[in-house]
Structure 1
Amino acid sequence: MTSVTATESAMIERAADAPMLHHVEQWAAINSGTGNLAGLKAVAGLLTDAFAVLPGTIRLVAPDPVESVDASGALRTTQRGDHLHLRVRPDAPVQLLLTGHMDTVFAVDHPFQTLQWREPGVLNGPGTADMKGGIAVILAALTALEASPLAGRVGYDVMINSDEETGSHASAALIAELAKGKTAALTYEPALPDGTLAGARPGSGNFSILIHGRSAHAGRNPEEGRNALIAAADLALRLNALKSTALKVNPAKIDGGGPNNVVPDQAILRVNMRPSTPEAMIAAEAALRDAIAAVSRDHDVHCHLHGGFNRPPKPLDAAATRLFELVRDCGAALGLTIGWNATGGVCDGNNIAACGIPVVDTMGPRGGAIHSADEFLITDSLPERAQLSALTILRIAERGTV
């Protein structure tokens, strides 16, 4: 701690003393699966009350409509929950964006609903690490910042959305709006159990290809039909063949078919694509359209493409590397070893990086087994990561840059 100034020391002590575990237990006790609008509303209310201790203006932002293709081929609109937005000192010379998400992957009828201590210091529960713990760290760090004499040098937007776990379709425009002009951004996905951060991330796109063929009797005149299921299977194989070191492709599901004696006239192929670079994303989209055109021609069917790349790739450019190095150096001042590795996952950090803003997106507490009933939070890492965030924010404020 010898490299920490007196001002920094006072701030990080305040951050560590915040009631983060209490907040996690309170927030994680309420189911807030992305589709549970009542649960999300309850959590949003608690978060609004908690973040009201900070200065500035706080509001709940209505979600954008989300469209998807259902199993019958119809376009459906899905309602998501409100997003929380706090704005503090928008005219300060340094502007930061801090983001988190209040939703979890556990639906209201999922059996994983309660908290329990697996052992001292390890709390098992839905959303404890991903990411009610991260939201608690945001609040603790910013509350400590507000008591610092340097607080006036930095302004910030806090955005906690309701649909990160399903791709942030209802909040992507809000994220892009808030990212504009920011010096840097911090997102509070959990760090790995050993404290490692996620570095570069691939992009991700989800696509539904609706294939229209022609029905016919399977025995009397099958040659007059155009089998949409066969066309979908052919397309799945063609897309699967696009896999490379720069692109992951997962044909995930085919909806369609019917009675054995009817040539199926409709099928829907669902596929996920994960390009490692922006160039790979452009090439993947072009290859996808070429494959669809070839299948349409070869099977005499009509295809309609729905979806897109909602998470652009997040390479580590020079500005992002400087931000990671700043976080590493702040960790060293606190006696923490901070490293980072590329990962195959995606998050809102992808969206922020696509706006040209440097971002570290695993500033949350240490935990693991996320998206499973074994999810756990290492509770000693709450004060640890609150201190790391507080010191990082303060040093960005002091520098005026990353």
Structure 2
Amino acid sequence: MIRTALLSAALILSTPALAALSPAETKMVGAVDAAFDADVALLERMVNQNSGTNNIEGVTKVAEMLRPELEALGFKVRWIPQGEVQRAGHLFAEHKGKPGTKRMLLIGHMDTVFEPDSPFQRFSREGTVGKGPGAADNKGGVVVMLSALKAMKAAGTLKDANIVVALTGDEEEAGKPRSISRRDLIAEGKRADVALDFEGLVRLNGQDMGSIARRSSNTWTLKTSGETGHSSSIFSERMGDGAVFEMSRILARFRAELPEPSLTFNVGLLAGGERVDVDAEGVRATATGKSNIIPPTAVAVGEFRSLSNEQTERVKAKMIAIAAQNSAKTKSELVFNDPYPPMAPTEGNRALLARLNGVNGDLGLPAMPELDPLRRGAGDVGFVAADLDSLAGLGVAGGGYHTDREFVDLTSIPLQAKRAAILMSRISKEKAR
């Protein structure tokens, strides 16, 4: 009954606009609907294979599931090992089409935040809702991508399309340095004309939203130091303010002086005392101290998220200036770590969303308004967005991301696959830049 209802709903959605679609596009719509059961079965197989970012074997096995799917579509597949950065690797695949037409870069990822020791391990289904680790983030998006490509092949539009598929194995916790772990993705971005990001579709109040921007993720570590001695001497000319008060001064100025539109910033870890130890990942700290000892050291680990590279550099400059104006007898050191760059909202990205909304109109679907970038986190598309027009959110609709409540709306698989297949088919006919 569920299957019949799904097909009926899909038919109702597409029927009023079929006259606006070409014969090939109409065939794609039918091919996507016919593949629904197979798409869900592939999603279940992928979800049931643990692929936590640090599970090298598990990520590799997911790649092995996907390789034959891509090869059957005529893609030349290559595995890019990432042992150099302690990660499994990336699965890239290229389809060569008609020379001189636009080259598309399709981006997704195979890893999840759920490692083998997580109790959340298996796929389950309740009607049109699927649950499981990575079901929405991002295995459902990978299934949408494949379903769209299969529909293009069935309709004959794939043969002329120039497409590179980039499925990373460590999006949730990219290997460092990122100059290595994202080297191949960046290189493909420089060769392509359009990037399509198959991470999750955002819905607000039942309305599908278009994502033309994603903010950056910039992590930082601030260390302060000062003189130490008996607490009765604090603030004296000889002892100064101590490391903790200097840390408090800097953080208070961050809070007062950094705010601007589209920017968020946070302190996620803070410790100070006579001795402080922070692990290499910046996620655990231990501190010792006494109430009558002026603390000589303090450490804060945080992040900020920006909408453009220009905003990133402006905020960094403000933070550096604030941290450098040290109080008496104190010093500070501010270090910025490997960032996830932003996908800034550009006119080229808006034009891509307009193209997608043209597809929506022809499918009889409502237009997708621009999503507020404050509602999107950082993603791999940020590494290429400065080089080409980009569109995000082409994956599945779902929720509960990064929790054991993660779910996917299974009906969004065919919906998104139809949109993507028609959009890519139309782009594939355009001349390259």
Relative to the length of structure 1, the TM-score reads: 0.87
User: What is the CA–CA distance in structure 2 between the aligned matches of 1:163 and 1:262, rounded to whole Å?
Assistant: 44
Is this contact kept in 2: 1:40–1:162, CA < 8 A? yes
Give secondary structure in 1 for the equivalent of 2:344: coil
Does the 8 Å CA contact 2:262/2:373 hold for their aligned counterparts?
no
Q: Which residue number corresponds to residue 189 of structure 1?
A: 199
Which secondary structure does the structure 2 equivalent of 1:106 belong to? coil
Residues in 2 aligned to 1:35 and 1:47: alpha-carbon distance in whole angstroms: 19
The answer to whether the 8 Å contact 1:145/1:151 transfers is: yes
Q: How has the CA–CA distance of structure 1 residues 87 and 211 changed in structure 2, closer, same or farther, with 3 Å as cutoff?
A: farther
Aligned to 1:13: 30
**One-letter amino acid of the counterpart of residue 204, structure 1:** S
Partner of 1:165: 172
Deviation larger for 373-382 or 30-39:
30-39
Deviates more, 1:234-243 or 1:25-34: 234-243
**In structure 1, what is the equivalent of residue 300 of structure 2?**
269
- 2:245 aligned to which of 226, 230, 239: 230
SS in 2 for 1:2: helix
1:134: how far off? 0.6
For 1:367, the aligned partner's letter is G
Secondary structure in 2 aligned to 1:325? helix
Cα distance in 2 for residues equivalent to 1:252 and 1:56: 43
Alpha-carbon shift at residue 101 of structure 1 (Å): 0.8
In the alignment, which of 41, 45, 48 is matched to residue 22 of structure 1? 41
Rounded to whole Å, the distance in 2 between the matches of 1:80 and 1:61 is 11
**What is the CA deviation profile of residues 308-349 of structure 1, one whole-angstrom value per residue up to 9, with x for unaligned ones?**
54222521x221111101111112222222413123222223
Q: What corresponds to 1:205 in structure 2?
A: 218
Q: Is the 8 A contact 1:228 1:266 kept in 2?
A: yes
Give the 5 Å matches for 1:281-360: 281-295=312-326, 298-315=328-345, 317-339=346-368, 340-344=370-374, 345=376, 346-355=378-387, 357-360=388-391
Q: Percent identity?
A: 26
Matched letter for residue 130 of structure 1: D
Letter in 2 for 1:210: K
8 Å CA contact retained: 2:144, 2:395: yes
One-letter amino acid of the structure 1 residue matched with residue 121 of structure 2 = Q
Where 1:364 maps in the other structure, the secondary structure is: coil
Contact 1:192 1:368 in 2 (8 A): no
Report the residue type matching 1:15 in the other structure: V
Which stretches in structure 1 are left out of the alignment for 5+ residues?
Answer: 67-78
- Residue type at the aligned position of 1:128: A
| CA distance in structure 2 between the partners assigned to 1:238 and 1:62 by the alignment | 44
* Preserved contact between residue 246 and residue 277 of structure 1 (Cα < 8 Å): no
Q: Secondary structure at the match of 1:16?
A: helix
Matched AA of 1:321 = R
For normalisation by structure 2, the TM-score amounts to 0.81
Residue 96 of structure 1 aligns to a residue whose secondary structure is: strand
CA contact (8 A) 1:215 1:226 kept: no
- In structure 2, the CA distance between the partners of 1:370 and 1:312, relative to structure 1 (3 Å rule), is same
Distance in 1, Cα, partners of 2:295 & 2:117: 34
Residue identity opposite 1:183 in structure 2: D
1:245/1:49 CA distance change after superposition, 3 Å: same
Q: 1:26 to 1:240 in 2, by over 3 A?
A: same
> What is the correspondence of 1:361-372 to structure 2 with a 5 Å cutoff?
361-372=392-403
Q: How far 1:226 moved relative to its partner?
A: 7.3
The residue aligned with 1:243 is 259
Partner of 2:7: none
Task: Could you tell me which runs of 5 or more consecutive residues in structure 2 were left unpaired when the two chains were aligned.
Answer: 1-17, 274-287
Residues 189-198 or 21-30, more deviating: 189-198
Flag the 1:31–1:234 CA change in 2: closer, same or farther, 3 A. farther
Count of residue pairs brought into register by the alignment: 386
| Larger Cα-atom Rg | 2
Please give the secondary structure, in 2, of the residue aligned with 1:81: strand
What CA distance in whole angstroms lies between the structure 2 residues aligned with 1:146 and 1:161?
A: 24
Q: Following TM superposition, by how much is the alpha carbon of 1:358 offset from its aligned partner in structure 2, in angstroms?
A: 1.1
Pairwise CA distance, 1:12: 3.2
- Tell me by how many angstroms 1:265 deviates: 3.5
Residue number in structure 1 paired with 2:281: none
Contact 2:241 2:328 in 1 (8 A): no
Determine if contact 1:249/1:272 at 8 Å carries over to the other structure.
yes
* 1:2 equivalent among 19, 32, 39: 19
Structure 2 contact 215–373 (Cα < 8 Å) conserved = yes
Cα distance in 2, alignment partners of residues 333 and 253 from structure 1: 50
- State yes or no: 1:108 paired with 2:92: no
CA RMSD of aligned residues (A): 2.6
One-letter amino acid of the counterpart of residue 61, structure 2: A
One-letter identity of the residue aligned with 1:323: L
